[in-house]
Structure 1
Amino acid sequence: MEGYVINTYILNVFTGEGVAGNPAAVVKLSTWLPENELQTLSRHLKQPVTSFIVDNEQGYEIRWFAGEIEINLCGHGSLAAAAAVFEMTPNHKPTIQLVSPYGTIVVNKSANGYTMTMPSWQPEHNSQLKKYSTLLGVEAIDIFSTRDLVVVLDSEQQVRNFKPDFDVIKSIRDYHAVILTAQKGTSGYVLRYFVPNIGIDEDIATGSAQCSLVSYWSNRLSVNELVVNQLSAQGGYFHVRQNQSDSIELTVNVLLTQIIKLTETHEI
């Protein structure tokens, strides 16, 4: 097919406190392309996630692609998309709605950074989940499910030292991701996030993971505001708040370590 020109922004998000954050590509389209073309563009850009956005009456429709698959919610891809919109349109109002089949994400810009409102998923406990602790080779002090399988360990060091067997994690197909987490101090937690079934063995910094974790840790620690460290090799850093029973707020004071605008011709 004949090539066409698109503008692509590549951004790093969830940076701060000495961590590198997570890169994402953002592509703004005038109308939706077929899914196979979006997937081809995502592979070409070679980022952990590519966010595609299209104007609509409420704000922007958004879709996220990673590896060989479309994914159903991506926090760092959403923040990258909002930041790219503000870069493209400096006079844009400070609130952006990103509408997806999986819910609407609202991003607000202020002088100090960005705040993103996302859904809060309530933990579900089931005695049958204990088998996953054995399968993963860890001693869990708690285990629950949301969209994700969440395994709670006793210490930050246990989360940091965990050596994943990705064949085992790939065999866990009832959940989008496997999350290991532990308490950090009196008002925080750590996590690692594994999604090999969508082509990302271990994610760098994961906004959507907080949808599974904030309610749990807020209740357990009896605090509404928490500091979060993701213990990937590059690292991720978040401030989160349990806003209401059905939503959380994720705030980043330092959003970007780089913003690279690329104008490329793509052959599909």
Structure 2
Amino acid sequence: MQLDVFQVDAFSSKIFGGNPAAVCPLDVWLPDETLQLIAAENNLSETAYFVRSGEVFQLRWFTPAVEVDLCGHATLAAAWVLFNQLAEPTDLLRFSTRSGELGVRREGDRLFMDFPAKQPEEVDPPPGLLQALGLRCAEALYRTDDYVVVVEDEAIIADLQPDFAALAAFDVRGIVVTAPSHAFDFVSRWFGPRVGVNEDPVTGSAHTSLAPYWAHRLGKTVLSAEQGGVRKGQLICELLDNSRVIISGHGVLFMRGTIFI
């Protein structure tokens, strides 16, 4: 069997930026074991698969280790492939996912994803979390499906050198560290060794938690954001009144090929 595969740098308008995701269009679903093996072989933070079902596309995301409930950058990459490589004529795509129906629309060369917002709840730091991140203190700690660690200065984020083995012990999808920024409304880095991704350059799904926090703190509903360490990407988040967040960015094709299985 031969499968098309695309590698798209999401949340970037230039290759070698943003977050790379693999995208595999399918006619029918393959066994879950095969999907997981392909994702492990791709060795990217996410591989997205989609199957058309009438006017909707069924969409799933796999890290090299597990299937996940929501992934922003691989959703953007899948939409970019449909729009720019597979000539979908519509300007609005509908995806059926484990997190409900997600919409992606295009305006020019920018893609806008409609995701459910998550309200972070403040919690006490679990023993060892700050030490695993290499932090002595934090302004606050919140939890959704990730821990959200707030620090006072973006320079702290740039210097982070986490202990990934220690972070993998915490029973959350990942840990995001965030701070206010001079060039953007906020910046962040996201670590997910528990799901097989030590650091994800740009995690769209993490911004479903970050956007509500920063919108409340800054008193604004449209926010600019940058995520990443050595490799970075940029996003715009718009918090809506209906508990949804619009996350937008660019994509660029790095590679197109064929998988033989």
Correspondences of 1:238-257 after superposition (within 5 Å): 238-252=235-249, 254-256=250-252
The residue that corresponds to 1:76 in the other structure is 73
Q: Are 1:50 and 2:27 counterparts?
A: no
1:188 correspondence with 2:155: no
Using the TM superposition, give the Cα deviation of residue 129 of structure 1 relative to its aligned residue in structure 2, in angstroms. 4.9
After TM superposition, the score normalised by the length of structure 2 is: 0.92
Aligned to 1:263: 258
Does structure 1 conserve the Cα–Cα contact (< 8 Å) formed by 2:134 and 2:160?
Answer: no
What SS does the corresponding residue of 1:89 show, helix, strand or coil? coil
Q: How much has 1:196 moved relative to structure 2? A: 0.4
Per-residue deviation, 1:83: 0.9
Find the residue that maps to 2:77 and give its secondary structure: helix
Computed over aligned residues only, the root mean square deviation of the Cα atoms, in angstroms, reads: 2.0
Q: CA deviation at 1:186?
A: 8.9
Give the stretch that moved more between structures: 88-97 or 128-137.
Answer: 128-137
The one of 82, 97, 106 aligned to 1:100: 97
| Deviation string, structure 1 residues 171-199 (Cα, Å, up to 9, x no partner) | 112x1100100011496101010000111
Contact kept, 8 Å, 1:19 with 1:235, in 2: the verdict is no
Equivalent residues of 1:19, 1:236 under 8 A apart:
no
Q: Which stretches in structure 2 are left out of the alignment for 5+ residues? A: none
In the alignment, is the contact (CA less than 8 A) between 2:129 and 2:167 conserved in 1? no
1:140: which partner in 2? 138
Q: 1:236 aligns with which of 226, 233, 237?
A: 233
8 Å Cα contact 2:51-2:58 kept in structure 1: yes
Moved over 3 A (4+): 16-19, 127-137
Pick closer, same or farther for the CA change 1:164–1:128 going to 2, 3 Å.
closer
Deviation at 1:127, TM superposition (A): 3.5
Cα separation, partners in 2 of 1:91 and 1:191, compared to 1, 3 Å: closer
1:222 corresponds to: 219
Contact 1:16–1:237 (CA under 8 A) maintained in structure 2: no
1:20 alignment partner in structure 2:
17
Say how many residue pairs are matched: 260
Aligned in 2, Cα 1:88/1:169: closer, same or farther, shift over 3 Å?
same
User: SS of 1:122's equivalent?
Assistant: coil
What's the % identity of the aligned pairs? 27
Residues 1:263 and 1:18: Cα distance change in structure 2 (over 3 Å): closer
**Structure 1 alignment gaps of length 5 or more:** none
Work out the CA distance in 2 between the residues paired with 1:119 and 1:136.
28
Name the amino acid aligned to 1:158.
Answer: I
Residues 87-122 of structure 1: CA distance to partner in whole angstroms, max 9, x if unpaired?
343252111111112222211012141111111100
| Counterpart residue type for residue 45 of structure 2 | P
Q: Is the 8 A contact 2:15 2:254 kept in 1?
A: no
Alignment correspondent of 2:161: 163
Q: Secondary structure at the match of 2:103?
A: strand
Q: What TM-score do the two structures reach when normalised by structure 1?
A: 0.90
Give the superposition deviation at 1:167. 1.7
Measure how far apart 1:137 and its partner are: 4.3
Contact kept in structure 2, 1:55 and 1:61, CA below 8 Å = yes
> Quick check: 1:224–1:241 contact (8 Å CA) kept in 2?
yes
